[in-house]
Amino acid sequence: MFFFNLNSIEFLVINQQISFQFPNEITLHIKREDMIHPFVSGNKFRKLKYNLLKAKEEKKIKLLTFGGAFSNHIAAVAYAGKDNNFETIGIIRGDELESYITENPTLLFAQECGMKFQFVSREEYKNKTTNLFIENLKNRYGDFYLIPEGGANSLAVKGCEEIITEEDSRFSHICCSIGTGGTISGLINASHLHQKIIGFSSLKGEFLSDDIRKFAVKNNWELVTDYHFGGYGKINEELVRFINDFYKQTTIPLDPIYTGKMLFGIIDLIEKGYFPKGANILAIHTGGLQGIKGMNVYLKKKNLQQIITQ
Ligand SMILES: *Cc1c(COP(=O)(O)O)cnc(C)c1O
């Protein structure tokens, strides 16, 4: 796969905002949603905002949610729960993880924030949205406010609509990374029809389109599915090299699961002529930087180059 040498493009940093000038009068601007908050970063902050307000309104004491071992969402719910006086319960995929909490920076962080875990097998986890599964959780934990996996529901989409402001109407293209599709749905709803919203899938498969159609009220979007690097959570040396070069040259850290893949994809597509002459592209940095530590534990074990953070 093609590797872009960042040395050959110009970039500007103004107030931590960054703009790149490419040939063919194409500009790329990065919106630093990763800087909203150190622990509840990027889109996870946006997705939790109205859900926590609703939980308060309903006088709930507990938040319950679901996630994998390195989940940005689990970390965000744990911290936001602590900060807003909710008890938090995380239903974690993979029952083998229970004995490895101390080796897992995400789970360790969530535990330090007071989150209680229930580890379930990958088989059981697949049933997590069934009535029976939820009933069992209610019997065990009592009343709680349920936040779906990845935080994706209509209140989350409403929060993500606030990522885009009126000033952003000058952009012709808006790019984001996709997990559940909640974030891109918010961007689509807040966009103007002259803008194209492009989602870079972090997972394999086209199934995401249906999820996006559930929440999105416009059709000015498309999915790019060529930059998942083997699937969700998978990376290779080329991606690590890209993330490290990008960081060295711009001082912007990218995460390996979402934003690293998206930026790699955007730059590759610019090179390949995907964007029209004069395109003014906005890329949303959705955060996720807490995931770097966990990925580095894995890379170190495999004796591979790690992601640099300073
Ligand atoms: C969760 C996450 C995404 C995916 O957002 P969805 O709304 O689930 O599509 C993208 N980027 C980062 C950094 C995330 O943590």
Q: Is the shortest distance between the CB of 42 and ligand 1 below 6 Å?
A: yes
Within the chain, how many helices (H) and strands (E) appear? Answer: 11, 11
Beta strands in 246-294 (DSSP E): 280-285
The per-residue pLDDT of the chain, averaged, comes to 91
Residue range 161-198, pLDDT digits in tens: 999 999 999 999 999 999 999 999 999 999 999 999 99
- In short, whether 185's Cβ falls inside 6 Å of ligand 1 is no
Q: How many residues does the chain have?
A: 310
User: 209 φ, ψ to 5°?
Assistant: -55, -40
Please name the helix (run of DSSP H) or strand (run of DSSP E) that holds residue 223, with its range, or none: strand 221-224
Nearest CA to ligand 1 atom 15: 288
Residue 252, classed as helix, strand or coil, is coil
Token duo for residue 254? 């990218």
Site to substitute for ligand 1 among 286, 290, 295, 307, most atoms within 8 A of C-beta: 286
294 CB near ligand 1 (under 6 Å): no
By DSSP bridging, strand 173-178 and strand 196-201 are: parallel
Q: Is the CB of 233 inside a 6 Å radius of any atom of ligand 1?
A: no
Using CA atoms in the order 84, 59, 187, 175, what is the torsion angle rounded to 10 degrees? Answer: 40
pLDDT at position 11 is 44
Q: Which residue's CA is the closest to the ligand 1 atom numbered 14? A: 288
Nearby residues of 210 by Cβ (< 8 Å), 6 or more positions away: none
**Average of pLDDT values for 76-105?**
93
Q: In this predicted structure, what is the pLDDT of residue 12?
A: 45
> So what's the pLDDT on residue 16?
55
- What pLDDT does residue 165 have? 92
Encode pLDDT of 250-304 as tens digits.
889 999 999 999 999 999 999 999 999 999 999 999 999 999 999 999 999 999 9
Ligand 1 centroid vs 24 CA: distance in angstroms? Answer: 30
Residue 206 near residue 237, CB atoms below 8 Å: no
Over the stretch 8-55, which tens digit does the pLDDT of each residue have? Answer: 444 444 445 678 899 999 999 999 999 888 788 889 999 999 999 999
Q: What is the mean pLDDT of residues 226-240?
A: 96
- Report yes or no: 75 and 50 within 8 Å, Cβ to Cβ: no
Cα three-residue angle 261-267-269, rounded to 5 degrees: 95
Catalogue the long-range contacts made by 225-230 (C-beta closer than 8 Å, 24 or more residues apart).
225/201, 226/265, 227/200, 227/201, 227/261, 227/262, 227/264, 227/265, 227/268, 228/201, 228/202, 228/203, 228/204, 228/261, 229/261, 230/204
pLDDT above 70 (res 136) = yes
Average pLDDT of the segment spanning 237-251: 94
Distance spanning both ends of the chain, measured CA to CA: 27
Is the CB of 290 within 6 Å of ligand 1?
Answer: no
User: Does 4 score more than 60 pLDDT?
Assistant: no
Name, in order, each residue with C-beta under 8 angstroms of 23's C-beta and a sequence gap of 6 or more. Answer: none
Neighbours of 92 (CB within 10 A): 24
Closest to 263 measured CA to CA, from 276, 281, 277, 280 = 281
